[in-house]
Structure 1
Protein backbone atom coordinates (compact mmCIF):
# COMPACT_ATOMS: atom_id res chain seq x y z
CA UNK A 1 0.00 0.00 0.00
CA UNK A 2 1.62 3.26 -1.12
CA UNK A 3 2.24 5.94 1.50
CA UNK A 4 3.51 9.52 1.20
CA UNK A 5 5.57 8.98 4.36
CA UNK A 6 9.24 8.09 3.91
CA UNK A 7 9.30 5.57 6.76
CA UNK A 8 6.88 2.66 7.13
CA UNK A 9 8.20 1.50 10.50
CA UNK A 10 10.17 3.48 13.09
CA UNK A 11 11.75 1.15 15.66
CA UNK A 12 12.15 2.94 18.98
CA UNK A 13 14.69 1.52 21.44
CA UNK A 14 18.36 0.75 21.86
CA UNK A 15 19.62 -2.30 19.95
CA UNK A 16 21.89 -4.72 21.76
CA UNK A 17 24.59 -7.27 21.04
CA UNK A 18 23.59 -10.86 21.86
CA UNK A 19 26.47 -12.95 23.20
CA UNK A 20 25.16 -16.49 22.73
CA UNK A 21 26.41 -19.64 24.45
CA UNK A 22 25.38 -23.26 23.97
CA UNK A 23 24.99 -25.46 27.07
CA UNK A 24 23.08 -28.58 28.04
CA UNK A 25 20.90 -26.46 30.31
CA UNK A 26 20.84 -23.19 32.24
CA UNK A 27 23.18 -23.42 35.27
CA UNK A 28 21.82 -23.24 38.81
CA UNK A 29 23.12 -20.88 41.51
CA UNK A 30 26.81 -21.52 42.34
CA UNK A 31 27.01 -24.07 39.52
CA UNK A 32 29.50 -24.11 36.65
CA UNK A 33 28.71 -25.86 33.35
CA UNK A 34 30.82 -26.42 30.28
CA UNK A 35 29.49 -24.76 27.16
CA UNK A 36 30.51 -23.23 23.86
CA UNK A 37 30.28 -19.64 22.65
CA UNK A 38 28.35 -19.51 19.41
CA UNK A 39 29.12 -15.89 18.61
CA UNK A 40 28.00 -12.28 18.92
CA UNK A 41 24.84 -11.35 17.05
CA UNK A 42 22.70 -8.26 16.60
CA UNK A 43 19.68 -8.13 18.90
CA UNK A 44 17.19 -5.96 20.76
CA UNK A 45 13.43 -6.26 20.51
CA UNK A 46 12.61 -3.17 18.45
CA UNK A 47 15.79 -3.54 16.39
CA UNK A 48 14.97 -7.16 15.54
CA UNK A 49 11.47 -6.16 14.45
CA UNK A 50 12.96 -3.49 12.18
CA UNK A 51 15.33 -6.05 10.64
CA UNK A 52 12.52 -8.54 10.04
CA UNK A 53 10.30 -5.87 8.50
CA UNK A 54 13.10 -4.55 6.31
CA UNK A 55 13.80 -8.06 4.97
CA UNK A 56 10.13 -8.21 4.02
CA UNK A 57 10.06 -4.94 2.16
CA UNK A 58 9.17 -2.20 4.63
CA UNK A 59 11.00 1.12 4.68
CA UNK A 60 12.40 1.19 8.20
CA UNK A 61 14.39 3.48 10.48
CA UNK A 62 15.94 3.00 13.92
CA UNK A 63 15.66 5.46 16.80
CA UNK A 64 18.01 4.76 19.70
CA UNK A 65 21.61 4.63 20.90
CA UNK A 66 24.72 2.50 20.67
CA UNK A 67 28.09 2.85 22.32
CA UNK A 68 31.33 3.89 20.62
CA UNK A 69 32.57 0.31 20.77
CA UNK A 70 32.84 -2.80 18.58
CA UNK A 71 29.28 -3.92 19.39
CA UNK A 72 27.87 -0.52 18.44
CA UNK A 73 29.81 -0.46 15.18
CA UNK A 74 28.49 -3.93 14.31
CA UNK A 75 24.88 -2.96 15.02
CA UNK A 76 24.99 0.19 12.88
CA UNK A 77 26.63 -1.79 10.05
CA UNK A 78 23.89 -4.44 10.22
CA UNK A 79 21.23 -1.74 9.94
CA UNK A 80 22.94 -0.22 6.93
CA UNK A 81 23.29 -3.63 5.25
CA UNK A 82 19.53 -4.24 5.56
CA UNK A 83 18.62 -0.74 4.41
CA UNK A 84 17.49 0.45 7.85
CA UNK A 85 18.10 4.16 8.24
CA UNK A 86 20.51 5.18 11.04
CA UNK A 87 19.58 8.85 10.72
CA UNK A 88 18.00 8.84 14.18
CA UNK A 89 20.63 6.71 15.92
CA UNK A 90 23.11 8.38 18.27
CA UNK A 91 26.49 7.17 19.51
CA UNK A 92 27.12 7.37 23.27
CA UNK A 93 30.19 7.08 25.49
CA UNK A 94 28.36 4.35 27.45
CA UNK A 95 28.79 0.68 26.49
CA UNK A 96 26.35 -0.70 23.93
CA UNK A 97 23.47 -2.65 25.46
CA UNK A 98 24.13 -6.38 25.54
CA UNK A 99 22.57 -9.71 26.45
CA UNK A 100 24.14 -12.97 27.56
CA UNK A 101 22.00 -15.77 26.15
CA UNK A 102 22.29 -19.45 27.01
CA UNK A 103 20.70 -21.80 24.48
CA UNK A 104 20.16 -25.51 25.16
CA UNK A 105 20.23 -28.38 22.68
CA UNK A 106 16.49 -28.01 22.05
CA UNK A 107 16.88 -24.36 21.07
CA UNK A 108 15.17 -22.91 24.15
CA UNK A 109 16.90 -20.00 25.85
CA UNK A 110 17.51 -17.99 29.02
CA UNK A 111 19.18 -14.59 29.10
CA UNK A 112 20.56 -11.71 31.15
CA UNK A 113 20.10 -8.23 29.64
CA UNK A 114 22.33 -5.21 30.36
CA UNK A 115 20.70 -2.03 28.98
CA UNK A 116 22.32 1.32 28.36
CA UNK A 117 21.72 3.83 31.17
CA UNK A 118 19.04 6.48 30.76
CA UNK A 119 16.61 6.66 27.85
CA UNK A 120 16.89 7.37 24.14
CA UNK A 121 14.04 9.88 24.18
CA UNK A 122 14.72 13.24 22.53
CA UNK A 123 11.51 15.12 21.76
CA UNK A 124 12.75 17.23 18.85
CA UNK A 125 14.34 14.28 17.05
CA UNK A 126 11.44 11.93 17.76
CA UNK A 127 8.90 14.48 16.54
CA UNK A 128 10.79 14.79 13.27
CA UNK A 129 10.97 11.00 12.95
CA UNK A 130 7.31 10.23 13.64
CA UNK A 131 6.18 12.93 11.22
CA UNK A 132 7.75 10.79 8.49
CA UNK A 133 6.53 7.42 9.83
CA UNK A 134 3.41 5.29 9.48
CA UNK A 135 4.02 3.24 12.63
CA UNK A 136 6.32 3.65 15.62
CA UNK A 137 7.15 0.38 17.42
CA UNK A 138 8.41 0.04 20.99
CA UNK A 139 8.65 -2.27 24.00
CA UNK A 140 7.51 0.20 26.71
CA UNK A 141 9.23 -0.55 30.01
CA UNK A 142 9.04 3.11 31.11
CA UNK A 143 5.39 4.24 31.19
CA UNK A 144 6.21 7.97 31.37
CA UNK A 145 8.55 7.73 28.41
CA UNK A 146 6.03 5.71 26.42
CA UNK A 147 3.23 8.16 27.24
CA UNK A 148 5.29 10.94 25.69
CA UNK A 149 6.12 8.79 22.64
CA UNK A 150 2.45 7.92 22.12
CA UNK A 151 1.38 11.53 22.46
CA UNK A 152 3.90 12.73 19.87
CA UNK A 153 3.11 9.92 17.44
CA UNK A 154 -0.64 10.27 17.58
CA UNK A 155 -0.42 14.04 17.22
CA UNK A 156 1.27 13.49 13.87
CA UNK A 157 -0.99 10.68 12.64
CA UNK A 158 1.54 7.91 13.31
CA UNK A 159 0.19 4.61 14.63
CA UNK A 160 1.64 3.22 17.86
CA UNK A 161 2.58 -0.47 18.02
CA UNK A 162 3.92 -2.13 21.16
CA UNK A 163 5.20 -5.46 22.40
CA UNK A 164 4.01 -6.42 25.90
CA UNK A 165 5.79 -9.13 27.90
CA UNK A 166 5.20 -10.01 31.54
CA UNK A 167 8.10 -7.76 32.61
CA UNK A 168 6.57 -4.83 30.69
CA UNK A 169 3.08 -5.17 32.22
CA UNK A 170 3.41 -7.20 35.46
CA UNK A 171 -0.05 -6.17 36.68
CA UNK A 172 -3.47 -5.30 35.29
CA UNK A 173 -3.16 -1.59 35.99
CA UNK A 174 -0.01 -1.27 33.90
CA UNK A 175 -1.50 -3.37 31.09
CA UNK A 176 -4.61 -1.21 30.83
CA UNK A 177 -2.52 1.97 30.84
CA UNK A 178 -0.39 0.69 27.95
CA UNK A 179 -3.40 -0.47 25.95
CA UNK A 180 -4.94 3.00 26.12
CA UNK A 181 -1.79 4.46 24.57
CA UNK A 182 -1.53 1.96 21.70
CA UNK A 183 -3.12 1.14 18.35
CA UNK A 184 -1.51 -2.22 17.52
CA UNK A 185 -0.57 -4.54 20.39
CA UNK A 186 1.54 -7.69 20.44
CA UNK A 187 1.69 -9.96 23.47
CA UNK A 188 3.07 -13.42 24.16
CA UNK A 189 1.13 -16.03 26.10
CA UNK A 190 3.03 -15.60 29.41
CA UNK A 191 2.50 -11.85 29.18
CA UNK A 192 -1.23 -12.31 28.64
CA UNK A 193 -1.63 -14.81 31.47
CA UNK A 194 0.35 -12.62 33.89
CA UNK A 195 -2.52 -10.13 34.00
CA UNK A 196 -5.53 -12.27 33.11
CA UNK A 197 -7.82 -14.20 35.42
CA UNK A 198 -9.04 -16.37 32.54
CA UNK A 199 -7.43 -18.73 30.01
CA UNK A 200 -6.08 -17.48 26.69
CA UNK A 201 -8.94 -17.60 24.16
CA UNK A 202 -10.00 -15.31 21.30
CA UNK A 203 -12.88 -14.04 23.46
CA UNK A 204 -10.52 -13.19 26.31
CA UNK A 205 -8.19 -11.28 23.97
CA UNK A 206 -11.12 -9.47 22.36
CA UNK A 207 -12.12 -7.98 25.73
CA UNK A 208 -8.85 -6.03 25.80
CA UNK A 209 -9.97 -4.03 22.75
CA UNK A 210 -12.27 -2.13 25.11
CA UNK A 211 -9.21 -0.21 26.34
CA UNK A 212 -8.54 1.31 22.92
CA UNK A 213 -6.31 -0.68 20.54
CA UNK A 214 -7.48 -1.43 16.99
CA UNK A 215 -5.72 -4.77 16.87
CA UNK A 216 -4.28 -7.22 19.44
CA UNK A 217 -2.25 -10.32 18.65
CA UNK A 218 -1.06 -12.93 21.16
CA UNK A 219 1.64 -15.39 20.13
CA UNK A 220 1.62 -18.90 21.58
CA UNK A 221 5.05 -20.21 20.58
CA UNK A 222 4.65 -23.64 18.94
CA UNK A 223 0.85 -23.36 19.18
CA UNK A 224 0.62 -20.44 16.76
CA UNK A 225 -1.18 -17.16 17.46
CA UNK A 226 -4.50 -15.42 18.11
CA UNK A 227 -5.37 -12.06 16.55
CA UNK A 228 -8.44 -9.92 17.14
CA UNK A 229 -9.69 -6.70 15.58
CA UNK A 230 -12.94 -4.77 15.93
CA UNK A 231 -14.75 -7.20 13.65
CA UNK A 232 -12.72 -10.43 13.62
CA UNK A 233 -11.19 -12.95 16.03
CA UNK A 234 -8.84 -15.43 14.37
CA UNK A 235 -6.48 -18.24 15.33
CA UNK A 236 -3.59 -19.59 13.30
CA UNK A 237 -1.58 -22.72 13.99
CA UNK A 238 2.20 -22.72 13.72
CA UNK A 239 4.11 -24.05 10.72
CA UNK A 240 6.46 -27.06 10.89
CA UNK A 241 10.03 -26.03 11.61
CA UNK A 242 13.43 -27.29 12.69
CA UNK A 243 14.11 -25.44 15.94
CA UNK A 244 17.74 -24.40 16.42
CA UNK A 245 17.42 -21.13 18.38
CA UNK A 246 14.17 -19.47 19.44
CA UNK A 247 15.86 -16.12 20.10
CA UNK A 248 13.94 -13.36 18.31
CA UNK A 249 11.14 -15.56 16.94
CA UNK A 250 8.49 -13.28 18.43
CA UNK A 251 10.25 -10.22 17.02
CA UNK A 252 10.28 -11.79 13.56
CA UNK A 253 6.56 -12.56 13.92
CA UNK A 254 5.81 -8.94 14.85
CA UNK A 255 7.90 -7.51 12.01
CA UNK A 256 6.28 -9.85 9.49
CA UNK A 257 2.81 -9.09 10.82
CA UNK A 258 3.38 -5.33 10.41
CA UNK A 259 4.85 -5.83 6.93
CA UNK A 260 1.76 -7.71 5.75
CA UNK A 261 -0.67 -5.43 7.59
CA UNK A 262 0.83 -2.24 6.16
CA UNK A 263 0.82 -3.82 2.70
CA UNK A 264 -2.97 -4.11 2.97
CA UNK A 265 -3.33 -7.85 3.58
CA UNK A 266 -6.43 -9.16 5.34
CA UNK A 267 -6.11 -10.11 9.00
CA UNK A 268 -6.20 -13.83 8.14
CA UNK A 269 -3.47 -13.38 5.50
CA UNK A 270 -1.42 -11.24 7.86
CA UNK A 271 -1.59 -13.74 10.72
CA UNK A 272 -0.68 -16.67 8.47
CA UNK A 273 2.20 -14.72 6.90
CA UNK A 274 3.63 -13.83 10.32
CA UNK A 275 3.43 -17.42 11.60
CA UNK A 276 5.23 -18.67 8.51
CA UNK A 277 7.99 -16.08 8.87
CA UNK A 278 8.49 -16.92 12.55
CA UNK A 279 8.81 -20.63 11.74
CA UNK A 280 11.67 -19.88 9.35
CA UNK A 281 13.45 -17.55 11.78
CA UNK A 282 14.21 -20.23 14.40
CA UNK A 283 16.23 -22.42 12.00
CA UNK A 284 19.64 -20.85 12.79
CA UNK A 285 21.53 -19.40 15.76
CA UNK A 286 20.90 -15.71 16.42
CA UNK A 287 17.80 -13.53 16.33
CA UNK A 288 18.50 -12.26 12.81
CA UNK A 289 20.49 -14.99 11.08
CA UNK A 290 17.48 -16.73 9.51
CA UNK A 291 15.15 -13.77 9.02
CA UNK A 292 13.27 -14.62 5.80
CA UNK A 293 12.57 -12.58 2.71
CA UNK A 294 9.20 -12.55 0.98
CA UNK A 295 10.09 -15.40 -1.37
CA UNK A 296 11.00 -17.68 1.53
CA UNK A 297 7.77 -16.91 3.37
CA UNK A 298 5.71 -17.49 0.24
CA UNK A 299 7.45 -20.83 -0.30
CA UNK A 300 6.53 -21.89 3.25
CA UNK A 301 2.94 -20.77 2.73
CA UNK A 302 2.72 -22.68 -0.53
CA UNK A 303 4.17 -25.83 1.02
Structure 2
Protein backbone atom coordinates (compact mmCIF):
# COMPACT_ATOMS: atom_id res chain seq x y z
CA UNK A 1 0.00 0.00 0.00
CA UNK A 2 1.37 3.42 -1.01
CA UNK A 3 2.33 5.83 1.74
CA UNK A 4 -0.02 8.83 1.60
CA UNK A 5 0.84 12.39 0.64
CA UNK A 6 0.11 14.76 3.54
CA UNK A 7 -0.49 18.31 2.33
CA UNK A 8 -0.42 20.98 5.02
CA UNK A 9 -1.56 24.40 3.90
CA UNK A 10 -4.11 27.01 3.02
CA UNK A 11 -7.71 26.70 1.87
CA UNK A 12 -9.20 29.83 0.32
CA UNK A 13 -12.11 30.94 -1.76
CA UNK A 14 -10.76 32.74 -4.83
CA UNK A 15 -12.79 35.73 -5.95
CA UNK A 16 -11.64 36.11 -9.55
CA UNK A 17 -12.08 39.33 -11.50
CA UNK A 18 -11.45 39.15 -15.26
CA UNK A 19 -10.47 42.45 -16.85
CA UNK A 20 -8.88 43.88 -19.98
CA UNK A 21 -5.82 45.23 -18.18
CA UNK A 22 -4.56 45.71 -14.62
CA UNK A 23 -5.41 49.06 -13.01
CA UNK A 24 -2.59 51.47 -12.26
CA UNK A 25 -2.35 53.01 -8.78
CA UNK A 26 -5.40 55.21 -8.23
CA UNK A 27 -7.09 54.01 -11.41
CA UNK A 28 -10.58 52.50 -11.66
CA UNK A 29 -11.22 50.00 -14.44
CA UNK A 30 -14.25 47.97 -15.43
CA UNK A 31 -14.14 44.23 -14.85
CA UNK A 32 -15.55 41.75 -17.35
CA UNK A 33 -16.56 38.85 -15.11
CA UNK A 34 -16.69 37.87 -11.43
CA UNK A 35 -16.47 34.26 -10.22
CA UNK A 36 -16.00 32.34 -6.98
CA UNK A 37 -13.57 29.41 -7.30
CA UNK A 38 -12.15 27.25 -4.48
CA UNK A 39 -8.41 27.92 -4.14
CA UNK A 40 -5.55 28.44 -1.69
CA UNK A 41 -2.13 26.99 -2.42
CA UNK A 42 -2.52 24.04 -0.08
CA UNK A 43 -5.97 23.17 -1.41
CA UNK A 44 -4.90 23.63 -5.03
CA UNK A 45 -1.95 21.29 -4.57
CA UNK A 46 -4.14 18.75 -2.81
CA UNK A 47 -6.66 18.98 -5.64
CA UNK A 48 -3.91 18.41 -8.23
CA UNK A 49 -2.37 15.49 -6.38
CA UNK A 50 -5.78 13.89 -5.83
CA UNK A 51 -7.05 14.34 -9.39
CA UNK A 52 -3.78 13.03 -10.79
CA UNK A 53 -3.93 9.76 -8.90
CA UNK A 54 -2.28 10.52 -5.55
CA UNK A 55 -3.47 9.22 -2.18
CA UNK A 56 -3.82 12.52 -0.35
CA UNK A 57 -4.74 13.78 3.12
CA UNK A 58 -5.22 17.51 3.77
CA UNK A 59 -4.43 19.42 6.95
CA UNK A 60 -5.69 22.99 7.22
CA UNK A 61 -8.47 25.19 8.58
CA UNK A 62 -11.61 26.78 7.14
CA UNK A 63 -14.35 28.94 8.60
CA UNK A 64 -17.82 27.71 9.48
CA UNK A 65 -19.30 29.34 6.39
CA UNK A 66 -20.42 28.55 2.86
CA UNK A 67 -16.92 29.05 1.46
CA UNK A 68 -15.51 26.46 3.86
CA UNK A 69 -18.31 24.01 3.16
CA UNK A 70 -17.76 24.28 -0.57
CA UNK A 71 -14.00 23.87 -0.25
CA UNK A 72 -14.37 20.66 1.76
CA UNK A 73 -16.87 19.24 -0.74
CA UNK A 74 -14.80 20.17 -3.80
CA UNK A 75 -11.65 18.51 -2.45
CA UNK A 76 -13.57 15.46 -1.29
CA UNK A 77 -14.76 15.14 -4.89
CA UNK A 78 -11.08 15.23 -5.93
CA UNK A 79 -10.43 12.13 -3.77
CA UNK A 80 -8.68 14.11 -1.01
CA UNK A 81 -9.25 12.98 2.59
CA UNK A 82 -10.70 16.05 4.35
CA UNK A 83 -11.56 14.33 7.64
CA UNK A 84 -8.94 16.23 9.63
CA UNK A 85 -9.55 19.75 8.30
CA UNK A 86 -10.58 21.97 11.23
CA UNK A 87 -13.72 24.13 10.92
CA UNK A 88 -13.39 27.36 12.91
CA UNK A 89 -16.37 29.30 14.20
CA UNK A 90 -14.34 32.38 15.14
CA UNK A 91 -12.62 32.92 11.76
CA UNK A 92 -13.91 33.10 8.17
CA UNK A 93 -12.51 30.91 5.42
CA UNK A 94 -9.43 32.48 3.83
CA UNK A 95 -10.10 34.61 0.78
CA UNK A 96 -7.98 35.55 -2.24
CA UNK A 97 -9.00 38.30 -4.65
CA UNK A 98 -7.41 37.54 -8.03
CA UNK A 99 -7.24 39.99 -10.92
CA UNK A 100 -6.62 38.39 -14.33
CA UNK A 101 -5.92 40.41 -17.50
CA UNK A 102 -6.46 39.45 -21.14
CA UNK A 103 -2.92 38.06 -21.42
CA UNK A 104 -3.54 35.64 -18.54
CA UNK A 105 -1.25 37.49 -16.10
CA UNK A 106 -2.57 37.75 -12.56
CA UNK A 107 -2.28 39.83 -9.41
CA UNK A 108 -3.44 38.38 -6.07
CA UNK A 109 -4.40 39.74 -2.62
CA UNK A 110 -4.81 37.10 0.12
CA UNK A 111 -6.74 37.54 3.41
CA UNK A 112 -5.68 34.53 5.57
CA UNK A 113 -8.75 34.15 7.82
CA UNK A 114 -8.90 30.63 9.27
CA UNK A 115 -5.57 29.72 7.65
CA UNK A 116 -3.91 31.50 10.58
CA UNK A 117 -5.28 28.74 12.82
CA UNK A 118 -3.19 26.08 11.05
CA UNK A 119 -0.58 26.43 13.79
CA UNK A 120 1.90 24.24 15.66
CA UNK A 121 -0.69 23.10 18.20
CA UNK A 122 -3.02 21.96 15.40
CA UNK A 123 -0.20 20.01 13.71
CA UNK A 124 0.82 18.37 16.97
CA UNK A 125 -2.77 17.23 17.48
CA UNK A 126 -2.51 15.35 14.18
CA UNK A 127 0.95 13.89 14.61
CA UNK A 128 -0.30 10.42 13.68
CA UNK A 129 -0.82 11.68 10.11
CA UNK A 130 2.85 12.68 9.95
CA UNK A 131 3.78 9.25 11.24
CA UNK A 132 1.72 7.37 8.67
CA UNK A 133 2.46 9.33 5.48
CA UNK A 134 5.37 9.04 3.07
CA UNK A 135 5.46 12.60 1.69
CA UNK A 136 4.71 15.95 3.33
CA UNK A 137 4.14 19.14 1.32
CA UNK A 138 4.00 22.72 2.61
CA UNK A 139 3.53 26.24 1.23
CA UNK A 140 3.79 29.63 2.99
CA UNK A 141 0.14 30.72 3.35
CA UNK A 142 -0.09 29.36 6.90
CA UNK A 143 2.01 30.58 9.88
CA UNK A 144 5.74 30.26 9.15
CA UNK A 145 6.32 28.72 12.59
CA UNK A 146 3.95 25.87 11.71
CA UNK A 147 5.75 25.25 8.41
CA UNK A 148 9.12 25.08 10.18
CA UNK A 149 7.74 22.79 12.87
CA UNK A 150 6.11 20.53 10.29
CA UNK A 151 9.28 20.24 8.19
CA UNK A 152 11.32 19.41 11.27
CA UNK A 153 8.85 16.81 12.50
CA UNK A 154 8.55 15.22 9.07
CA UNK A 155 12.32 14.79 8.79
CA UNK A 156 12.49 13.37 12.34
CA UNK A 157 10.14 10.71 11.05
CA UNK A 158 12.16 10.13 7.86
CA UNK A 159 9.54 11.51 5.45
CA UNK A 160 10.17 13.09 2.04
CA UNK A 161 9.48 16.82 2.30
CA UNK A 162 8.44 19.33 -0.36
CA UNK A 163 8.31 23.07 0.29
CA UNK A 164 6.77 25.43 -2.22
CA UNK A 165 8.02 28.76 -0.77
CA UNK A 166 5.08 30.84 -1.94
CA UNK A 167 4.55 33.55 -1.07
CA UNK A 168 8.30 33.77 -0.43
CA UNK A 169 9.16 34.61 3.19
CA UNK A 170 11.72 37.27 4.05
CA UNK A 171 13.79 34.51 5.63
CA UNK A 172 13.74 30.97 6.96
CA UNK A 173 15.70 29.72 10.00
CA UNK A 174 19.09 28.35 8.96
CA UNK A 175 18.35 25.03 10.65
CA UNK A 176 15.34 24.44 8.38
CA UNK A 177 17.10 24.25 5.01
CA UNK A 178 18.46 20.73 5.48
CA UNK A 179 14.95 19.51 6.34
CA UNK A 180 13.82 20.21 2.76
CA UNK A 181 14.15 17.46 0.17
CA UNK A 182 12.50 19.39 -2.68
CA UNK A 183 12.27 23.20 -2.80
CA UNK A 184 10.08 24.53 -5.64
CA UNK A 185 10.39 28.33 -6.00
CA UNK A 186 9.62 30.34 -9.09
CA UNK A 187 12.15 32.95 -10.27
CA UNK A 188 10.79 35.74 -8.05
CA UNK A 189 10.72 33.52 -4.97
CA UNK A 190 14.24 32.27 -5.66
CA UNK A 191 15.48 35.86 -5.89
CA UNK A 192 13.90 36.75 -2.55
CA UNK A 193 15.22 33.64 -0.79
CA UNK A 194 18.77 34.20 -2.03
CA UNK A 195 18.93 38.00 -1.97
CA UNK A 196 19.79 38.08 -5.67
CA UNK A 197 18.48 40.73 -8.05
CA UNK A 198 19.47 39.62 -11.55
CA UNK A 199 17.53 36.57 -12.64
CA UNK A 200 19.09 35.52 -15.95
CA UNK A 201 19.68 31.80 -16.42
CA UNK A 202 23.15 31.75 -14.86
CA UNK A 203 21.94 33.79 -11.87
CA UNK A 204 19.06 31.35 -11.38
CA UNK A 205 21.50 28.45 -11.40
CA UNK A 206 23.76 30.27 -8.97
CA UNK A 207 20.84 31.01 -6.65
CA UNK A 208 19.78 27.37 -6.69
CA UNK A 209 23.36 26.34 -5.83
CA UNK A 210 23.30 28.71 -2.86
CA UNK A 211 20.26 26.87 -1.49
CA UNK A 212 21.93 23.50 -2.04
CA UNK A 213 24.86 24.78 0.01
CA UNK A 214 22.42 25.53 2.84
CA UNK A 215 21.28 21.89 2.89
CA UNK A 216 18.36 21.62 0.43
CA UNK A 217 18.58 18.31 -1.48
CA UNK A 218 16.91 19.32 -4.76
CA UNK A 219 15.88 22.75 -6.08
CA UNK A 220 13.22 22.84 -8.80
CA UNK A 221 12.87 26.37 -10.18
CA UNK A 222 9.63 26.83 -12.11
CA UNK A 223 10.30 29.12 -15.09
CA UNK A 224 6.82 29.57 -16.52
CA UNK A 225 6.72 28.98 -20.27
CA UNK A 226 10.42 28.02 -20.24
CA UNK A 227 9.81 24.97 -18.07
CA UNK A 228 11.59 23.83 -14.90
CA UNK A 229 15.25 23.91 -13.86
CA UNK A 230 16.37 21.02 -11.66
CA UNK A 231 19.52 21.64 -9.63
CA UNK A 232 20.99 19.10 -7.23
CA UNK A 233 24.46 17.81 -6.42
CA UNK A 234 24.44 15.57 -9.50
CA UNK A 235 22.90 17.66 -12.25
CA UNK A 236 21.64 20.99 -13.52
CA UNK A 237 18.98 20.37 -16.16
CA UNK A 238 16.16 22.33 -17.76
CA UNK A 239 12.96 20.45 -18.58
CA UNK A 240 11.16 22.47 -21.29
CA UNK A 241 7.46 23.19 -20.95
CA UNK A 242 4.97 22.16 -23.62
CA UNK A 243 4.12 25.19 -25.77
CA UNK A 244 0.51 26.27 -25.25
CA UNK A 245 -1.55 29.46 -25.33
CA UNK A 246 -1.92 30.55 -21.71
CA UNK A 247 -5.34 31.77 -20.61
CA UNK A 248 -4.83 31.98 -16.82
CA UNK A 249 -1.62 31.14 -14.92
CA UNK A 250 -3.22 31.35 -11.46
CA UNK A 251 -2.67 27.74 -10.37
CA UNK A 252 0.17 26.72 -12.68
CA UNK A 253 2.72 26.35 -9.88
CA UNK A 254 0.24 24.62 -7.57
CA UNK A 255 -0.69 22.16 -10.29
CA UNK A 256 3.00 21.43 -10.88
CA UNK A 257 3.66 20.79 -7.19
CA UNK A 258 0.66 18.53 -6.68
CA UNK A 259 1.39 16.60 -9.86
CA UNK A 260 5.05 16.23 -8.92
CA UNK A 261 4.15 14.77 -5.52
CA UNK A 262 1.62 12.38 -7.05
CA UNK A 263 4.18 11.18 -9.59
CA UNK A 264 6.83 10.59 -6.91
CA UNK A 265 4.30 8.61 -4.90
CA UNK A 266 3.54 6.58 -8.04
CA UNK A 267 7.22 5.58 -8.16
CA UNK A 268 8.42 7.90 -10.93
CA UNK A 269 12.03 9.09 -10.91
CA UNK A 270 12.60 12.79 -10.19
CA UNK A 271 13.08 13.47 -13.90
CA UNK A 272 9.95 11.55 -14.89
CA UNK A 273 7.95 13.30 -12.17
CA UNK A 274 9.05 16.71 -13.46
CA UNK A 275 8.01 15.84 -17.02
CA UNK A 276 4.63 14.58 -15.79
CA UNK A 277 4.08 17.72 -13.68
CA UNK A 278 5.12 19.97 -16.58
CA UNK A 279 2.46 18.38 -18.78
CA UNK A 280 -0.21 18.74 -16.10
CA UNK A 281 0.69 22.40 -15.61
CA UNK A 282 0.63 23.04 -19.37
CA UNK A 283 -3.00 21.93 -19.39
CA UNK A 284 -3.92 24.03 -16.33
CA UNK A 285 -2.75 27.33 -17.88
CA UNK A 286 -5.11 26.88 -20.82
CA UNK A 287 -8.11 27.07 -18.47
CA UNK A 288 -9.49 29.70 -16.14
CA UNK A 289 -9.43 29.52 -12.35
CA UNK A 290 -7.45 27.64 -9.75
CA UNK A 291 -8.84 24.19 -8.93
CA UNK A 292 -11.21 24.44 -11.90
CA UNK A 293 -8.20 24.46 -14.25
CA UNK A 294 -6.44 21.38 -12.88
CA UNK A 295 -6.58 18.35 -15.20
CA UNK A 296 -7.39 14.76 -14.38
CA UNK A 297 -4.94 11.89 -14.64
CA UNK A 298 -6.33 10.52 -17.91
CA UNK A 299 -5.93 13.91 -19.62
CA UNK A 300 -2.22 14.02 -18.86
CA UNK A 301 -1.71 10.41 -19.89
CA UNK A 302 -3.49 11.06 -23.19
CA UNK A 303 -0.90 13.75 -23.98
CA UNK A 304 1.90 11.38 -22.97
CA UNK A 305 0.50 8.76 -25.33
CA UNK A 306 0.18 11.27 -28.17
CA UNK A 307 3.84 12.24 -27.78
Other structure's SS at 2:291 match: coil
Tell me, yes or no, if structure 1 residue 179 matches structure 2 residue 177. yes
Other structure's SS at 2:185 match: strand
- Partners of 1:15 and 1:65 within 8 A in 2: yes
Q: Look up the match of 1:260.
A: 263
| 1:144, distance to aligned residue in structure 2 (A) | 2.6
Q: 1:123 to 1:250 in 2, by over 3 A?
A: closer
Match of 2:10 among 14, 21, 44: 14
Match of 1:230 among 230, 233, 243: 233
Match of 1:42 among 25, 38, 50: 38
Q: Look up the match of 1:150.
A: 151
| 1:39, distance to aligned residue in structure 2 (A) | 1.2
Match of 1:288 among 283, 288, 291: 291
- Partners of 1:280 and 1:291 within 8 A in 2: yes
- Correspondences of 1:1-303 after superposition (within 5 Å): 2-3=1-2, 5=3, 7=4, 9-93=5-89, 94-116=91-113, 118-121=116-119, 122-140=122-140, 142-165=143-166, 167-170=167-170, 174=172, 176=174, 178-194=176-192, 195-197=194-196, 199-201=200-202, 203-204=205-206, 205-301=208-304, 302-303=306-307
Other structure's SS at 1:87 match: coil
- Partners of 1:164 and 1:186 within 8 A in 2: yes
Structure 2 Cα separation of the partners of residues 268 and 215 of structure 1: 11
* TM-score w.r.t. length of structure 1: 0.90
Q: 1:214 to 1:153 in 2, by over 3 A?
A: same
Other structure's SS at 2:257 match: helix
- Partners of 1:22 and 1:37 within 8 A in 2: yes
* TM-score w.r.t. length of structure 2: 0.89
Structure 2 Cα separation of the partners of residues 41 and 21 of structure 1: 11
- Partners of 2:118 and 2:146 within 8 A in 1: no
The unaligned stretches of length 5 or more in structure 2 are none
- Partners of 1:189 and 1:200 within 8 A in 2: no
- Partners of 1:53 and 1:255 within 8 A in 2: yes
- Partners of 2:123 and 2:146 within 8 A in 1: no
Structure 1 Cα separation of the partners of residues 164 and 240 of structure 2: 20
| 1:298, distance to aligned residue in structure 2 (A) | 2.5
The structure whose residues are more often helix, as a share, is: 2
The unaligned stretches of length 5 or more in structure 1 are none
